[in-house]
Structure 1
Amino acid sequence: MRPEEVVPIAASVQHWSRESPNYPSELGELAQPPRELYAIGRVSALSKPRVAIVGTRNSTAYGERITRTLTRALVRSGVSIVSGMARGIDAAAHRTALEEGGNTVAVLGTGVDVPYPVGHRLLHRAIAEKGLVLSEYPPGTKAGPGVFPKRNRIIAALAPVTIVVEAGFRSGALNTAGQALELSRVVAAVPGPIDSDQSRGSNQLLRDGAVLIAAPDDALALLGISPPKAALPPPPLLPESEQKIWDAIADGFVSIDDLPAATSLSIAECLAAITSLEIMGLVECSLAGEIKRR
């Protein structure tokens, strides 16, 4: 390996034993937990809800687009994205999380200071600065036989949900999914074109019972997170009485009988204003005599 392929940030490397407070407790569920971990970056990335997003290195435009869509939705809901910094789907997930200002964790099959693949030096540095890079291998360790399946078990253990976006029949992402299942984690997959080699493995996961991810909300639901509500358009400039009613019902249903006290309007003025707001399509009234914004 050329010297420039090792990131000169050894002074920033943290060393965690299994007794360290930073060592993720979930790794204790593995048959062979890492005896130690090395880390560079923000430990706070582990304090958020986590989802692993993995897939083929030979990704398609479809797979990368779906990865970006899912990652944006998850990150905007406060979820940290875990992946392996490989080409293709992994890289798309990491990059999107960083672009959104969110948290991402890269688990490497090399030392934390050895970007792999080499072409991901800039991505590695960005994750080290704004996210978290983890490895069970000491700094300076190069890629070798068997390191990536071992790495995959850490990805699977760190997240309660693993989403496979695209995977061929021999994709390492299927190895991650298999290890997640062994840990009783949720495995989900994105359906792909039936004539795409890159989707044969992920489609097989769905046939075998993986959770279908057909929209970003499906991923959020697996974590028990409700999708953020779309922002309501601002109302038109309202007359004074209608504006008082509108302001009084900002938090949901309000009894019409309570509006005079809340608005300093008479009941007749309240009813007239409510009728006006109903005509404009801004409010709705229940049979119980309550009013709320549409």
Structure 2
Amino acid sequence: MTFATAASTESGFEIETWTKDSPEYPRELLDLKQPPTSLFAIGKRDVLDSPRVSVVGTRSSTGYGERIARTLGLAFARAGVTVISGMARGIDSKAHRTALEQGTGTVAVLGTGIDVPYPVGHRALHRSIAMGGLVLSENPPGTIAYQGAFPRRNRIIAALSPLTIVVEAGYRSGAINTATQALELGRQVAAVPGPIDSEQSKGTNQLIKDGSEVITSPADALALLGITIKPESPPPLLPDTEQKVWDSITAGSALTDDLPALTDLTLAECLAAITSLEIMGLVECTLAGEIKRR
């Protein structure tokens, strides 16, 4: 039996090396035609012990895509699901940051060396994930980005979870590459539908057209993972803004845009209250902007 070995980065993080014989090595990677000979890791191995989902998308994300990534991230956090992504700009970083904000696990799989944040502007995000989650790479420390690095990285993202969700993507993108590799592995792939005139949704809409699962609410995503969240009974006393929003959903559902008129709150206050109610398990938001009691 070969156990993990460790070294340290200049920033003080301990780098572990997991070989295929190490108990830490994720067995799901052995489904790959060419599994990594070894993995370099910084952070908490136990985040891989929770249910997992891979969330990917375009670097050129829209406000719509980032809002959906956050909504899904909040649901995964409440359900104790670890989010796996690639630490890229756009959808990836939104997925990671939502998990970190909620104090739940997230895994970043890099196409560079474990100690080489990419893009460079994500140094702080890399550090946060190393402290609160797990960073993985098959490339030796010090490796800079090279041609073909990210498609190779994508196969690891696809293999690490039973479900890959594409939030936004064009026809040809790294996110679609990840989805394709997930399908080749026999994993489930789901996509968020988007506007038909949006370049960032052409790839996701095509995935749905080709038979991928459709995500229209956080409940859809959790159901694909076999997770059902039981609704919580309303507490005796909600904070004032949350109570106003809760009371306004009198018919069981309401549109987000209608809430300011129904509650005398600003839209920003309504959105903050909705987030709180979501986390408490009292409401769920559809991608069309409808708020439903659970």
TM bracket, shorter-chain basis:
0.7 to 0.9
Conservation of the 8 A alpha-carbon contact between 2:13 and 2:42:
no
Matched residues in 2 for 1:231 and 1:116: separation? 44
- For 2:95, which of 87, 93, 96 is the aligned residue? 93
AA in 2 matched with 1:205: L
Matched residues in 1 for 2:49 and 2:227: separation? 16
Shift of 1:110: 0.5
AA in 1 matched with 2:46: S
Percent identity, please.
Answer: 65
Q: Where in structure 2 are the equivalents of 1:146-161 lying within 5 Å?
A: 146-161=148-163
Within the alignment, does 1:110 sit opposite 2:112 as a pair? yes
Shift of 1:10: 6.2
Shift of 1:232: 2.7
Aligned residue in 1 for 2:44: 42
1:153 aligned counterpart, secondary structure: helix
Q: How many residues align?
A: 229
Within the alignment, does 1:189 sit opposite 2:153 as a pair? no
Matched residues in 2 for 1:94 and 1:193: separation? 24
Q: Structure 1: give runs of 5+ residues left out of the alignment.
A: 1-6, 236-294
Shift of 1:231: 2.9
- For 1:171, which of 162, 170, 173 is the aligned residue? 173
- For 1:137, which of 125, 139, 144 is the aligned residue? 139
Shift of 1:11: 5.2
Q: Where in structure 2 are the equivalents of 1:1-294 lying within 5 Å?
A: 8-9=10-11, 12-234=14-236
Conservation of the 8 A alpha-carbon contact between 2:166 and 2:204:
yes
Shift of 1:168: 0.4
Conservation of the 8 A alpha-carbon contact between 1:42 and 1:131:
yes
Greater mean alpha carbon deviation, residues 8-17 or residues 216-225: 8-17
Q: Residues 5-61 of structure 1: CA distance to partner in whole angstroms, max 9, x if unpaired?
A: xx7246500000000000000000000000000000000111010000000000000
- Let me know the Cα RMSD of the aligned residues: 1.1
Matched residues in 2 for 1:167 and 1:228: separation? 32
Aligned residue in 2 for 1:285: none
Q: Structure 2: give runs of 5+ residues left out of the alignment.
A: 1-8, 238-294
Q: Cα–Cα, structure 1 residues 59 and 11, in superposed 2: closer, same or farther, change >3 Å?
A: closer
Matched residues in 1 for 2:31 and 2:104: separation? 27
Post-superposition, which runs of at least 4 consecutive aligned residues in structure 1 deviate over 2 A? Answer: 7-11, 230-235
2:71 aligned counterpart, secondary structure: helix
AA in 1 matched with 2:131: E
Greater mean alpha carbon deviation, residues 226-235 or residues 40-49: 226-235
Conservation of the 8 A alpha-carbon contact between 1:156 and 1:179:
yes
AA in 2 matched with 1:74: F
Conservation of the 8 A alpha-carbon contact between 1:10 and 1:139:
no
Larger radius of gyration: 1
Shift of 1:191: 0.3
2:139 aligned counterpart, secondary structure: coil
TM-score using structure 1 length: 0.76
1:40 aligned counterpart, secondary structure: strand
1:98 aligned counterpart, secondary structure: helix
Shift of 1:170: 1.3
